[in-house]
Amino acid sequence: MECKYFGQCGACRLYENGYDAQLQEKLQLNKERFNSFYQGNIDVFASPQSHYRARSEFKIWHVEDDIFYAMNHQEHKGVVLIDECPQVNEHIASLMPKLLEKIKEYKLDFKLFGADFLSSSSGEIVVSLLYHRQLDEAWEQEAKKIAQDLNIYIIGRARKQKKVIGQDYITETLHVSDKEYRFEYIENSFTQPNPRVNEKMIGWAMQHFKGVGGDLLELYCGAGNFTIPFATLFNKVLATEISKSSINAAKRNMQLNNITNIEFVRMAVEEFRDALDGVREFRRMKEIDISNYEIDAIFVDPPRSGMDEDSCKFSARYKHILYISCNPETLVRDLEILTQTHTVEAMALFDQFPYTHHVEMGIKLVKKV
């Protein structure tokens, strides 16, 4: 990826020797990091080298009577004014300069401090405009003109305010193992930023669950990114997530894909563990007969903090564990517990974030005999 802001913009941290060399550097680092748990081959899934992000956030910076996109400077507390970003997908890249001109034309720049973009692979886009002022009817009328001119959806956000012009979600289609899956991605909620690597990540996970059979338990299911495809491999799936909006999105995504064998439960992992063990009763579980599940496999995709010790020990009850981690450091900590009862059977590195030090790791564990 060629970027005229390399070395200044804090969004990218790796520059030397080109993308392939950077990816090999990440691989070597993680081979050493996980060597005490696994000495086999680590599957590596590369990213497109440019235009790979389907969501991105930019500051809006005011200079006299003009406005610019801006990112944090890598070396000091200031910002870098930018007019392009080769990270974002082609649809966002094309929209960025047009949007800025329309904002100035319709005079919607007053106290505007941020613009967040969410795009599908087909070019459906929601833009969130963030303000340090309340938004009135006049703002709404002008925003509607911009949305119509650019064929986008706009969300206006201010303190305790959310104004929706059109809709607050886009619909993405992912292609995994020659099958299409459709997902509604809601503005201001978590989605995987790199759809092409996300497809590879789901495909790898499905490959390592093939033939396991029975039912699946999933923790931290989000909006069903993995849950929906997994439902094609198991008789039933029981999935938990603490976020109400994510659970609602997951149920909608299940309908979009004509899937009927998933039960989504809005519970924290600790609550769910207590419910399964009969320690406490929860109304949210009253319609679910856990005795009807034959669970031999568990899937976890926790936040950067990883899992706590109790959650690791809970997961270790099951023969098959598949763990997707966005933080290799907390994964090492969790593997110290999980490998007391399980053996690492396969590992993968997913380069979700090119030109940074971040990677996602996939781990398949099987209970020791």
- Helix 90-105 and helix 137-150, axial crossing angle in degrees, nearest 10: 140
Q: Which of 184, 241, 271, 360 is catalytic?
A: 360
Gap between the Cα atoms of 96 and 83, Å rounded: 8
Q: Which of 294, 326, 336, 345 is catalytic?
A: 326
Examine the residue annotation and report whether 360 is marked as an active-site residue of this protein.
yes
Examine the residue annotation and report whether 326 is marked as an active-site residue of this protein.
yes
- HEC letters along the chain: CCCCCCCCECCCCCCCCHHHHHHHHHHHHHHHHCCCCCCCCEEEECCCCCCCECEEEEEEEEECCEEEEEEEECCCCCEEEECCCCCECHHHHHHHHHHHHHHHHCCCCCCEEEEEEEECCCCCEEEEEEECCCCCHHHHHHHHHHHHHHCCEEEEEECCEEEEECCCEEEEEEEECCEEEEEEEECCCCCCCCHHHHHHHHHHHHHCCCCCCCEEEEECCCCCCCHHHHCCCCCCEEEEECCHHHHHHHHHHHHHCCCCCEEEEECCHHHHHHHHCCCCCCHHHCCCCHHHCCEEEEEECCCCCCCCHHHHHHHCCCCEEEEEECCHHHHHHHHHHHCCCEEEEEEEEECCCCCCCCCEEEEEEEECC
Q: Do 297 and 211 contact (CB within 8 A), yes or no?
A: no
Residue positions annotated with a catalytic role = 326, 360
